Amino acid sequence: KPTSPNRAEVQQELYPGSRTASHQQRERPYNPLPSSSCPGERAQYRICNSDACPPPSKPIRAVQCSYYNNQPFMGRLYQWEPFNEVPEEQHCELNCRAEGFRFYVRQLDRVIDGTPCGQNQTFLCVAGKCASLGCDEYLGSGKAVDRCGVCGGDNTTCRLVSGDYKHSLSKIGYHRIVEIPEGARKINVTEMMKSRNYLALRSRSGGSIINGNWAVDRPGKYEGGGTVFTYRRPNEISSTAGESFLAEGPTNEILDVYMIFQQPNPGVHYEYIIPSEKPVPPQHPDHRPEETAGHDGHEQQEN
């Protein structure tokens, strides 16, 4: 243990509310003699403010570039914006482009600590170098989230729930085919073959998310249940693949997937991952159109 510790703890609050704006540095006690008295890294950095900035806040690079709006450059004033199309080794420099012009200037050798490296939000600049941000919000920890959302986990607490809905339907309309529980991740609901049927998604709290009220939405991204769903509907001529919903999760409420039945059901495969302590809802609702659906042809398995 060092006999003459030199301790430092520094916290910078540059722009409240920004993940990139606030960082904390802790330095280990340091004594140069003997050199082996304090093993390990001398400094450790972590995020101490991960809240998103309220709109209409500017990104931190844009704020730094705007500092130069009132400073003459080559005899005149410009409005500056971030320029990120630079080599990787320059990602922690402050490069700004004059708005409306085709040139950029390196305004600073180093951006403010905590600024994202280029447009990559998982790497932050510290002392002019890019450092990866672990899921524990420590820079350089190397920790990542596993498939069921555990920081530093090894997937041993994950449970894959999957099944196929193959019920033969007869009445045109909405039929519920599966319930997606709260906390689900890696959600995939896909028709086994192309058909004239449509998938629909609804929340228990806010109504329709995709393809509700007999309106067919365009393929694209839709927010619902605390996550973003990608709705895919392959080209009707060149593809035999059916349509699908995909989402990373986690969901923050129960969601229901429906089929808008118009022709014989080719089958729908679904799967999602939940933590092993999460209960799996029973997948056997009564067979009625719209709010409930049939599962006589429903096969489910858990891994």
pLDDT of residue 72: 96
DSSP 112: P
Cβ contact 285:165 at 8 Å: no
Distances (CA, A) of 33 to 2, 7, 30, 43, 201: 8, 16, 9, 18, 65
Cβ contact 169:260 at 8 Å: no
Q: Quote the tokens at residue 164.
A: 């196929």
Query: Would you list the domain boundaries of the chain?
Result: 8-47, 60-132, 158-279+288-302
CA atoms within 13 A on the CB side of 234: 14
Could you list the pLDDT tens digit for every one of the 303 residues in the chain? 333 333 223 333 333 344 444 455 554 444 455 555 666 667 778 877 777 778 888 999 999 999 999 999 999 999 999 999 999 999 999 999 999 999 999 999 999 999 999 776 778 999 999 998 888 888 888 898 888 888 888 888 899 999 999 988 888 899 999 999 999 999 999 999 989 999 999 998 878 999 999 999 999 999 999 999 999 988 766 678 899 999 999 999 999 999 999 889 899 999 999 988 765 665 544 444 343 333 345 555 666
Q: Which CATH architecture has domain 158-279+288-302?
A: Sandwich (2.60)
> For the sheet containing 116-117, what is the strand order?
116-117, 120-126, 129-132
Amino acid, single-letter form, for residue 72: P
Nearest to 296 by CA among 162, 163, 161, 165: 165
CA angle 76, 80, 81 (to 5 degrees): 165
Nearest to 115 by CA among 102, 127, 98: 127
Q: Quote the tokens at residue 19.
A: 């993940």
Q: Quote the tokens at residue 204.
A: 């228990």
List, as one string, the DSSP characters of 173-212. EEEEEEEEPTT-EEEEEEESS--S-EEEEEETTTEEEES-
